Amino acid sequence: MKDNNKKILYFTLTLCVIGFLLTIFEFLALHDIHNEYVSTHILRHLNISLSGELPDWTSTKGEWGVVRVSYLFRFVFFVFCAIVLSKLATRLRNKARD
C-alpha cells in the first residue's frame, strides 16, 4: 500500500472514531435536552406565567452546542468521504484500464 493511501486510510479511520464518539455525546445531549429544556415560547402558548426568569440551565445551551458540533462534523465528514471515494473510484478505473 502506498504511503499516501495509508495516510488517507488512517485519517479516515480516525475521523470515523471521532464521529462515533460525537454520536454518543449527541445522544446524551439530546437525552439531557429532552429532560431539562424549557421553552418560554411554549410556556406562553400554554398560558403558564412565571414569577421570575427561568434558571439558565433550562436553556441547555451546552447540550445544543454538542448537537451543533456533531452535525457540522458529520456534514464535513460526509463531504470528505464523497471526495475520497470518488478519487479512489477514478484510481481503480484507471488501474483497470492499464
* Contact of 13 with 41, CB cutoff 8 Å: no
Full-model pTM: 0.68
* Contact of 43 with 50, CB cutoff 8 Å: yes
pLDDT bracket for residue 51 (50, 70, 90): confident
Q: What is the dihedral of CA 16, 3, 83, 67, to 10 degrees?
A: 20
Between CA 66 and CA 46 the distance in angstroms is: 29
19 Cβ partners below 8 Å, 6+ apart?
Answer: 73, 74, 77
pLDDT in tens, 10-48: 888 999 999 999 999 999 999 988 887 777 777 778 888
